[in-house]
Structure 1
């Protein structure tokens, strides 16, 4: 397995780099914001493309299957790319690939091709994978190990800011288009994604010219076995799989759930406001979690949040109206700390296997492709609300990981 060296210079600044660790952390937050924004735009695309191409829920979930399938196919090649061209150029390349994918939405809309849309999403996602494989462990290394969860939660807070803004942006520019003309509805996605492509290229240029703290070029010492021998890492990978799958499944279906597929409360454009609150809760929760985990262990916070999410989902399934709406919206608040906390618990104590473990965990993000498809199949057969039982099972596993699974074996 290809591994990425994530040993960052430990001094606060370097005359060769011209940027201290805090400055690098601040700049990296722009990446977290952008891939959060782009990922959450899928939640707008799903209902839009579903109406445009008259898709079932399962067929519409191919958006997430394609997007998160890129994590499974590209995580290890992304590690190889970064190992060959370096961290800085890896970021620039990832941004460029994502920009190309966003630009491809223009011809996809012109050709009215669902397959073309999925191809553009796959290329966009490949670029994001290159960024994410490097950025998560890099942020974890920009300080002491004891505060790694807090630091990653802080940067993930800006990821959540992107997911909060995206539904407002997408709802206004895409779902507000009420034209009955199919060509006009398809064209609604063109300019927003061209604008995103330009933004990605601009950020790539910024990273191309700034000097970041360098990743040391020392090779990892060879040892018998691999990162797969660590039980808490393997269980953590399953935790990432279930968490991303559950979060993506819920986020992808909220617009439909608030409308004709569930609660019958709003049209698509109005439902995006509550989708934004769902992701906004994740943003607020990450900033709160970053502070709370300075005082309370990460595993205890993860266990508490897992229980709260299960209670909220069950409440939404068993009620109706605004009680059901706010119950599922509040899931975002308690989702907040899960990904970065599972990630840091899983790579804790890996030593020279840390970068290899990061690749395994990023591979597990494929849960965002698999779980929504399972939920979509159940939704088409038994109703959208009933399909949330899949998410409950996912969070039940996360509770197990928080209580027992994260502990190191001898």
Structure 2
């Protein structure tokens, strides 16, 4: 199949934007608690409102992609995200924040469902695992820059001589990020409108699924297995990212804005670094082996971050990000490569699993209040890590990731 490189470029940029929007909740989480004067459990409903949208919108998004095309769905998504960001920025109340975050989460669901199968078709199924790591690299870059930009914009908002100080309340400098989100959404609307995607959408390659057929996929044990694996990964990722600032402050007395936001940024930076290594590893090893190895590394580093000293925690949390780096791309590629058709509908179900991120923060908050210890509550994150390890061991894809053999002229069996 002829590649559509402009579409690949737009898809990779979209991964960056999704991450930039999604992962700001981690560094501003302590600020939200302070601004709205709420507890840790109630604050968990901020990410809940965002990620619950994936559970509601992902399957409809997959069906919408089939009945229209990727371009329409992506344009709709960025329109929703622009509206949601403006709603949050202009009316920063707790109730409207829930609605705004749900709208932005709905937009991210539309994007995730439409761009993952698009990336697979643009680059070829054999190279999808590798391209997924590149996409995760962009995702990590967006998440790394988000806290850095947040600190810069917060300082500008607190400076009375800047435009931001006139539109952002003095005690809510973090709202400046949502003005930026609205601007980025408008820019992406223009980019997507100017990109030709029609040639990448093929009704022959993507048979149309009905609501009943999508529901039937939930009876497929392989689909269900990967659905929960995706839910486990997002719960793990967001549970860690949203807890770092609060944990470092409550357990070690470190500043939430300076130290907390910096460690969150380093967490995503190490996830990005891990993607660089993942690009090489994906060409050398079976993705199932990589997933299991990285799960073990994540368990060890997260345990050290939770139980160690303050000095160890600020190092171990970012290292955990390194070991999370290939889990999403590995799971998603294994899932889609376990089927020979219906990838759009399956991607919709997989992205529904992103709802796992909705439950991580509230559950951690509830356990923290029940045990009187956030430290104890964070050990619940070892459960989803163990499940991902299990899925990696038992997965049986019909298309393996393309690998090469060093020091041998004989092509690998997977290239045949």
Output the TM-score relative to the length of structure 2. 0.87
Deviations 1:345-383 (A, max 9, x none): 112231123222111101111000012211111122221
Query: In the alignment, does 2:24 pair up with 1:41?
Result: yes
Q: Partner of 1:391 in structure 2?
A: 381
Structure 2 equivalent of residue 170 of structure 1:
150
1:144 to 120, 124, 127: 124
Partner Cα separation in structure 2 for residue 49 and residue 217 of structure 1:
45
> Where does 1:203-214 land on structure 2 (aligned, <5 Å)?
203-212=188-197, 213-214=199-200
- One of 293, 301, 316 as aligned partner of 1:327: 316
Aligned equivalent of 1:89: 72
Task: Check whether the contact 2:27–2:260 (CA below 8 A) recurs between aligned residues.
Answer: no
Partners of 2:391 and 2:338 lie apart in 1 by 16
Shift of 1:283: 1.0
Cα contact 2:50–2:101 (8 A) shared by 1: yes
Matched, 1:196 2:181: yes
Identify which range, 149-158 or 134-143, moves more after superposition: 134-143
Higher mean C-alpha displacement, 114-123 vs 265-274: 265-274
CA distance in 2, matches of 1:262, 1:268: 15
Contact 1:176 1:269 in 2 (8 A): no
Residue 159 of structure 1: how far off its partner (Å)? 1.1
Measure, in 2, the Cα distance between the counterparts of 1:295 and 1:321: 37
- CA distance in 2 between partners of 1:353 and 1:345 (Å): 14
Corresponding residue for 1:256?
Answer: 246
* Alignment partner of 1:345 is 2:345: no
Contact 2:54 2:109 in 1 (8 A): yes
1:135 aligns with 2:118: no
Question: For 1:2-401, what aligned pairs fall within 5 Å after superposition?
Answer: 10-12=1-3, 21-109=4-92, 113-174=93-154, 183-186=169-172, 188-212=173-197, 213-218=199-204, 220=207, 226-259=216-249, 261-382=250-371, 383-401=373-391
Distance in 1 between the 2:109 and 2:208 partners? 26
Moved more, 21-30 or 305-314: 21-30
Q: Give 3-state SS (helix, strand or coil) of 1:351's partner.
A: coil
Question: What is the DSSP-based 3-state SS (H/G/I as helix, E as strand, rest coil) of the residue aligned with 2:24?
Answer: helix
Deviation string for 1:290-329 (max 9, x for gaps)?
Answer: 2211110101110000001111122222221211221122
Q: Structure 1 residues 282, 108: CA separation in 2 closer, same or farther (over 3 Å shift)? A: same
Measured after TM superposition, the shift of residue 198 of structure 1 is 1.7
Change in CA separation of 1:365 and 1:216 when aligned onto 2, cut-off 3 Å: same
Query: 1:6 aligns to what?
Result: none
8 Å CA contact retained: 1:315, 1:324: yes
How has the CA–CA distance of structure 1 residues 174 and 376 changed in structure 2, closer, same or farther, with 3 Å as cutoff? farther
Kindly indicate whether the alpha-carbon contact (under 8 Å) linking 1:44 and 1:171 is maintained by their aligned counterparts in 2: no
**TM-score, length basis structure 1:** 0.88
Give unpaired runs (5+ residues) of structure 2. Answer: 160-167, 399-416
Separation in structure 2 between the aligned mates of residue 204 and residue 31 of structure 1, nearest angstrom:
11
* Structure 1 residues 118 and 22: CA distance shift in structure 2, 3 A: same
The structural deviation recorded for 1:185 is 1.1
For 1:293, what is the secondary structure of its paired residue?
helix
Instruction: Indicate how the Cα distance of structure 1 residues 325 and 189 shifts in structure 2: closer, same or farther if over 3 A, else same.
Output: closer
Match of 1:4 in 2: none
Quote how far apart the aligned CAs of 1:270 are: 2.9
- Work out the CA distance in 1 between the residues paired with 2:201 and 2:330: 23
> 76-85 or 303-312: which moved more?
76-85
Cα distance, 1:176 vs structure 2: 8.9
Alignment root-mean-square deviation, CA: 2.4
Count of aligned positions = 385
Confirm or deny: 8 A CA contact 2:209 2:342 kept in the other structure.
no
Q: Aligned pair in 2 of structure 1 residues 159, 196: CA closer, same or farther (>3 Å)?
A: same
Q: Which runs of 5+ in 1 are unaligned?
A: 1-9, 13-20
Query: Matched residues in 2 for 1:73 and 1:328: separation?
Result: 31
Tell me the secondary structure at the aligned position of residue 342 of structure 2: helix
Change (3 A) 1:34 1:374: same
Task: Tell me the residue number matched to 1:18.
Answer: none
The structural deviation recorded for 1:144 is 3.1
Q: Secondary structure at the match of 1:216?
A: coil
Looking at structure 1, the residues matched to 338 and 314 of structure 2 have their Cα atoms a distance apart, in angstroms, of 41
